[in-house]
Structure 1
Amino acid sequence: MLLAATTASAGALHGIHTEDINRSGDACNDFFDYANGAWRQQNPIPDYMDRWSRRWESGEVNKEHVRDILTELSARTDWPKGSSGQLAGDFYAACMDESRIDALGSKPVQPWLDEIGAIRNKADLQRVIGKLHDIGVAVPFIVYATEDLHEPSKTIAHIYAGGLGMPDRDYYLKPEQRFVDARAKYLEHVAKMFELAGTPAAQARQNADTVFAFEKRLAEASFDNVQLRDPQLQDHLTAFADLSKIAPDFDWAKYFDDAGMPHDAVNVTQPRFLQQVEKELATTPLPQWKTYLQWQLLNVAADALSTPFVEENFAFNGKFLTGATEIKPRWKRCAELTDQQLGEALGQKYVEKYFPPEAKAKMQEMVKNILLAMDDVIRGLDWMDEETKKKALEKRSTFFPKLGYPDKFKDYKGVVVSRESAWDNLVSASRWNTADNRGQVGKPTDRSRWGMTPPTSNAYYNPLQNEIVFPAGILQPPAFDVNATDAVNYGAIGVVIGHEISHGFDDQGAQFDAQGRLANWWTPKDNAQFQAKGQCVVKQFEGYFIEPGVHHNGKLVLGESIGDLAGAKIAYRAYLKSREGKGPEPTIDGFTPEQQFFLSWGQWRGDETRLETQRTMVQGDPHPVAKYRVNGPVSNLPEFRAAFQCKADAPMVRAEADRCEVW
């Protein structure tokens, strides 16, 4: 039920979208349905999307903004060669030239396929693996530069498992029917792709069997998705000379020399996986290796090739895995790809148009308030002793916010882009991005670098630099609007800010100290209590089903769910703090500021999601599906219950014995 309230004028600032609310619903019964059920009913998921809400609609509008910039850039052909305008404009123009791409068919990748087919010995095999790594094809492992887990001020090479064509290892191994179906579809898909590249049908089917058997062996040696969330399991600093003990059939010195990386210690994230790679190098016949590598290349290249490749790639990775029934328009795919490969070349124009200084100033104020609210929460914890609180506050004090865009944009010097070949442009940009990353190995960590491009509608926390990062692309309505009330902004982007801050103290982030090192800063007693509080969240989400027999994996979604729970709590506190000395905001359209805060959260996170996508998410995504991201956290918060005057036995009110509170 709603609090009785009188409507007051809010001046120029607007409240929540009241037209989105399902008036026949009940906030205390199912808040997800109530907050924006009417919007979802009136706005079905577009055929090319796997989920939909005002948030996702905003993301698609954001791509229209990117398209407008790229259209403007590509309309000119007199940009100085190598300038950001020439690179982004010509990359987009070549991608949009569908008739030229279709006329070429598989010809752009044929030289690569031929080179793989010409492998005659292990030296050739390693050389080709290295060339594929140069353009980001992770076969069967990948080397990537990031911070040293124990000395994050230094960047080192990490060796990661890769080389699978399905989402993760469980698709190859689990007996449930949905995985059995996926394996059958995958075999058909691989065979079809080989056929499109000119392989006779019978041979293509044999190739698919070879690929699947190869990838299954890699899958058996890979971590599952829960293990991948444990940084301790992936901490294996290895002297360079000792790489040859794990995989002696691979010439590591030559690989690192060719890649321009020093022979320093590396982190082998999954030693067992690398041992399996060694076994494949030692025992798997070269013809099988060649088939596997050709498939991996086709898999990566598909969307840059002709329409039959694009459509077949969508049939498996889109239609089957996500439930989308229509491929995205070419301009969207080209805008996404340009942003992915050359995002900082167009990022400066993007922020000039869509992220004014007053927006950045408002965000800085909100981040400051939410960080201070986190301090208050830590100081007020009754389960943590003073020694651990001191360490937690020290860690919080070193948080490094990044808002909008980098202080210095990449120049992409050396990237060669023309309007002649979309595939060649992709190779050139991918090679540059790989080299740019590799060039950090052995150097002091550059804290000015960003892991997302300015137009990206997302955010992240990096525990090794203790940074929270919010690109300009997410700082748009409905997440953030300078013309909205504080209640609305704190309920949407404020909870996102709180969520990212909380990642510094979730089951993963809590293992890193104030300097970003993987190091314990907890007393044994406090750590035990922290683990128990996390287990409450695990149990809560294990009880959330998407269909009979299929529920969330509580351990997989633990970090994101701690982030949502703590994020909502500290954003609400920060909102109240922001009003100190100003007085309360007015009730608007019958909704109190407190109700606006929570409704803003429900409307921001309230995605309608295809069942196929939900199945993929509960298998491998550390984020819960939208319904439980909305309902799960607030059902634990007394502030939510008070805002909507819910009864103690309402479905949206968890019994005190079951209520979860970590931070």
Structure 2
Amino acid sequence: MRPSLLIAAILSTTAAAAIAQTAAPKAAKTNTPNTGSATSSAAEQAGPAIGTFGFDMAGRDTSVPPGDDFYAYANGTWEKNTEIPADRSSYGMFHRLQDLSREQTRALLEEEKGKADSKSGNFYASFLDEAAVNAKGVTPVKPWIAAIKGANSKEALAAEAGRMQRRGVESFFGLYVNQDDKDPETYAVVFGQAGLGLPDRDYYLKDDAKLAATRTAYQAYLAKMLTLAGEPNADARAAAVVQLEKAIAEAHWTRVESRDADKVYNKMTFAELAARAPGYDWTSYLQAAGIPADAPLIVAQPTAFTGEAKVWADAPVAVLKDHLLLRMLSTYARYLSANFDQARFAFYGTELTGAPEQQARWKRGVDLVSNHLGEDLGKAYVARYFPPESKAAADALVRNIIAAMGERLKKLEWMAPETKQKALAKLAAFTPKIGYPDKWRDYSELEIRRDDLLGNVARGNEFEFQRNLNKIGKPIDRGEWFMTPMTINAYANPTMNEIVFPAAILQPPFFDPKADPAVNYGAIGAVIGHEISHHFDDQGRKYDPSGKLADWWTEQDVARFKTFTDRLVAQYDAYEPLPGQHVQGALTLGENIADLAGVIVSYDAYRLSLGGKKAPVIDGTTGEQRFYLGYGQVWRTKYREPILRQMLLSDPHSPGVQRANIVRNVDTWYDTFGARPGQKLYLTKEQRVRIW
């Protein structure tokens, strides 16, 4: 099972999703204060970075009763006055903080760019030199094009797919190296379904006018890629590839099926995989990718592999070659001349996410180098922007919230005593990671050239691919991080039994040492509680204290737990952010459980932190009100319609409005804001979902 994130990859500029290229609000209208310059730090602030106590009071809309829409009450004026700029598809607090992190990282890279021996500086310079990239045109990938076109048998093409896999190009199948869920002291190769250029199977299979228009635009995009590469008969060839991908989509599991930790654990040998998925030349593929034939193997969606292998076996070689060719061109278009880059953005940026303009090149360069040399940059980032007092304060917060979760577990009435003891043992075994790794990654073997952007990306992908393969057969590296210190996100990793919070998220509006503690508990505290609770959500609960996927709950516990989660699924199924398109309660269940638990547990921790004293009233707000306002503020988010549609179809996270309004299930929120019968969010005590 992959780590559970606080948010999806909506801040990433990589991959087809490009899910949320966002921007800042209009300066003339927004009421959100400045979060500080790239060189500021929490230690240098005279007071809170936001407002008088850490919350933007002017961003509220007090004309909306909290009981009708808490999100609008806390954020409505911000929502009205914030405009999504042209280079973004959505904008919110995560994106605002990402902007700050990028500015901070840019300052570091500008310094490194002047050093001839700096890998990160040379990588950044190679991306910024747009004139040199344009002058090369399609030339850098011509050898790859020739190799793909020259693979005139399916055996040869499978080998080429393996070589392209090492360079970061997924054709029919994807893979990564992770701990074996049922043997977490061992690394395994985990295979998952792939092969689609659109975000999800529904984009190919649903009878929906908007999705049909997207399919038409996608086919035109593929034809454009072929034309730019100098290939003839582009329209017909693109159409054939779209039909091939539709057949692949028909074999794919749904996202709801693919999030079930038990269903996606299917351990087998490569010989067994070949028997289960005949028609694909697995030997040629594995040898070319460099995957050891005796490596432990887990296949996430075995019936999808059977179906995809049949699609491969039935398809003409020419169409399969075009599919791999287009997967390569689409993956690397951002590192080719502007005509490729712009064509890719027109589809994956504008068509799929709604962003009219591409982000500035320096921003994309910062993201690219952070992706490939993240811990090289991270070391400098932490030294400059993450003061020791921020780490110490965050450490204390984490300890308090773990303790609060422990108290919640002890008082549970629905869980069997023997299960409760194991749950407490799991909590006691947690490893919190705050800020940055204890040991930095070594990039000395990665070759970076100042005049070779595409080569840098390809070598970076191969370096990371091989680094992961090298783990096989070795002890588990429990110090490894799967995010850089500059990342605005957090995650829970069930097989490591850990929760991880990068340095960059420990900044306002999530965490501010100068802010009122109530706001910090409502913001980063709820984030910490969210990640802790992922270890006890509908999938995380399946992992025992050692990180092993095991059945350690009683049947009665599972049945009682399901009665709660079924109600939460139904609650979210009823939300309709777009006409005719609802939140998928089953897909978003894990994140909704974590949001609910996060706010409840963090509230408990905040009350405990007061030591029995009453919190002061600040600007007319009680401590309890400031806690919930701090929680609501972090979910400020505006979306363009295409990205919101994509989220609802494929994202395991609910939109910001629904995440903020999870408070309708929390008794103390009713006590704090006086929500009453007849208001839209009001639930009777019997209707409120209480799990932890």
If the length of structure 2 is used for normalisation, what is the TM-score? 0.90
Amino acid at match of 2:486: P
Q: Which residue of 2 aligns with 1:5?
A: none
CA distance in 1, matches of 2:335, 2:327: 14
- Which of residues 128, 137, 145 in structure 2 aligns to 1:96? 128
Q: Which residue of 2 aligns with 1:383?
A: 414
Q: Deviations over 1:415-453 (max 9, x none)?
A: 111111211110011110111111112222211111111
Structure 1 position 250, deviation (Å): 4.7
Q: Which residue of 2 aligns with 1:171?
A: 203
3-state SS of 2:262 partner: helix
3-state SS of 2:185 partner: coil
- Which of residues 126, 130, 139 in structure 1 aligns to 2:162? 130
Asked if 1:52 corresponds to 2:91, the answer is: yes
Name structure 1 gaps, 5 residues minimum: 1-10, 80-85
Q: Which residue of 2 aligns with 1:580?
A: 611
Asked if 1:156 corresponds to 2:185, the answer is: no
- Which of residues 114, 118, 141 in structure 1 aligns to 2:150? 118
Distance 1:481 1:262, change over 3 A: farther
Q: Which sits farther off after the overlay, 253-262 or 382-391?
A: 253-262
CA distance in 2, matches of 1:520, 1:340: 36
Structure 1 position 91, deviation (Å): 0.6
CA distance in 1, matches of 2:684, 2:349: 40
Is the CA contact 1:227–1:233 (under 8 Å) kept in the aligned structure 2? Answer: yes
Structure 1 position 657, deviation (Å): 3.1
Q: Deviations over 1:553-611 (max 9, x none)?
A: 11011110001001000010011112216x33322111111111100111111211222
Amino acid at match of 1:116: I
Q: Which residue of 1 aligns with 2:430?
A: 399
CA distance in 2, matches of 1:281, 1:190: 19
Q: Which residue of 2 aligns with 1:452?
A: 483
CA distance in 1, matches of 2:176, 2:587: 24
Instruction: Show the 5 A alignment for 1:502-513.
Output: 502-513=533-544
Q: Which sits farther off after the overlay, 535-544 or 29-38?
A: 29-38
- Which of residues 611, 625, 645 in structure 2 aligns to 1:595? 625
Amino acid at match of 2:310: K
Q: Which residue of 1 aligns with 2:140?
A: 108
CA distance in 2, matches of 1:545, 1:143: 34
Structure 1 position 260, deviation (Å): 5.1
CA distance in 1, matches of 2:566, 2:544: 22
CA distance in 1, matches of 2:413, 2:400: 22
Amino acid at match of 1:24: S
CA distance in 2, matches of 1:383, 1:236: 32
CA distance in 2, matches of 1:139, 1:611: 29
Q: Which residue of 2 aligns with 1:8?
A: none
Is the CA contact 2:54–2:509 (under 8 Å) kept in the aligned structure 1? Answer: no
Asked if 1:294 corresponds to 2:325, the answer is: yes
CA distance in 1, matches of 2:291, 2:546: 29
Q: Which residue of 2 aligns with 1:283?
A: 314
Q: Deviations over 1:305-341 (max 9, x none)?
A: 1212222111111111111111111111111111111
Distance 1:649 1:283, change over 3 A: closer
CA distance in 2, matches of 1:659, 1:377: 17
Is the CA contact 1:609–1:626 (under 8 Å) kept in the aligned structure 2? Answer: no
Structure 1 position 544, deviation (Å): 0.5
CA distance in 1, matches of 2:635, 2:47: 25
- Which of residues 635, 644, 655 in structure 2 aligns to 1:614? 644
Structure 1 position 281, deviation (Å): 4.2
Is the CA contact 1:196–1:309 (under 8 Å) kept in the aligned structure 2? Answer: yes
CA distance in 2, matches of 1:561, 1:298: 37
Structure 1 position 264, deviation (Å): 3.0
Asked if 1:219 corresponds to 2:249, the answer is: yes
Distance 1:657 1:250, change over 3 A: same
Amino acid at match of 1:412: Y
Structure 1 position 613, deviation (Å): 1.3
Across the aligned residues of Structure 1 and Structure 2, the Cα RMSD in angstroms comes to 1.6
Is the CA contact 1:256–1:263 (under 8 Å) kept in the aligned structure 2? Answer: no
Structure 1 position 256, deviation (Å): 4.3
Q: Which sits farther off after the overlay, 207-216 or 278-287?
A: 278-287
- Which of residues 621, 629, 637 in structure 1 aligns to 2:659? 629
3-state SS of 2:191 partner: strand
Distance 1:271 1:55, change over 3 A: closer
Structure 1 position 249, deviation (Å): 4.9
Distance 1:29 1:326, change over 3 A: same
Q: Which sits farther off after the overlay, 190-199 or 15-24?
A: 15-24
Instruction: Show the 5 A alignment for 1:430-449.
Output: 430-449=461-480
Amino acid at match of 1:473: A
Structure 1 position 156, deviation (Å): 0.9
Q: Which residue of 2 aligns with 1:7?
A: none
3-state SS of 2:85 partner: coil
CA distance in 1, matches of 2:91, 2:681: 23
CA distance in 2, matches of 1:298, 1:457: 29
Asked if 1:237 corresponds to 2:267, the answer is: yes
Q: Which residue of 2 aligns with 1:653?
A: 682
CA distance in 1, matches of 2:184, 2:66: 45
3-state SS of 2:577 partner: strand
Is the CA contact 2:248–2:311 (under 8 Å) kept in the aligned structure 1? Answer: no
Is the CA contact 1:459–1:500 (under 8 Å) kept in the aligned structure 2? Answer: yes
Asked if 1:482 corresponds to 2:489, the answer is: no
3-state SS of 2:688 partner: coil
Distance 1:428 1:575, change over 3 A: same
Paired-residue identity, %: 39
Q: Which residue of 2 aligns with 1:542?
A: 573
3-state SS of 1:478 partner: coil
Is the CA contact 2:174–2:192 (under 8 Å) kept in the aligned structure 1? Answer: yes
Q: Which sits farther off after the overlay, 251-260 or 61-70?
A: 251-260
3-state SS of 1:155 partner: strand
Distance 1:136 1:12, change over 3 A: closer
Amino acid at match of 1:638: D
Q: Deviations over 1:435-485 (max 9, x none)?
A: 111111222221111111111100111111111111112111111111111
- Which of residues 440, 452, 460 in structure 2 aligns to 1:421? 452
Structure 1 position 255, deviation (Å): 4.6
Asked if 1:313 corresponds to 2:352, the answer is: no
Q: Deviations over 1:165-191 (max 9, x none)?
A: 000111111112222222111111111
3-state SS of 1:346 partner: helix
What number of residue pairs does the alignment pair up? 642
Q: Deviations over 1:501-547 (max 9, x none)?
A: 11111111111111111111111111101011001110110110012
Q: Which sits farther off after the overlay, 612-621 or 19-28?
A: 19-28
CA distance in 2, matches of 1:123, 1:378: 55
Distance 1:629 1:139, change over 3 A: same
CA distance in 2, matches of 1:174, 1:166: 13
If the length of structure 1 is used for normalisation, what is the TM-score? 0.94
Q: Which residue of 2 aligns with 1:30?
A: 69
Amino acid at match of 1:119: A
Q: Which sits farther off after the overlay, 443-452 or 275-284?
A: 275-284
Amino acid at match of 1:570: V
CA distance in 2, matches of 1:493, 1:280: 47
Is the CA contact 1:15–1:588 (under 8 Å) kept in the aligned structure 2? Answer: no
Asked if 1:269 corresponds to 2:308, the answer is: no
- Which of residues 135, 140, 147 in structure 1 aligns to 2:172? 140
3-state SS of 1:546 partner: coil
Name structure 2 gaps, 5 residues minimum: 1-45
Q: Which sits farther off after the overlay, 523-532 or 269-278?
A: 269-278
Structure 1 position 241, deviation (Å): 3.1
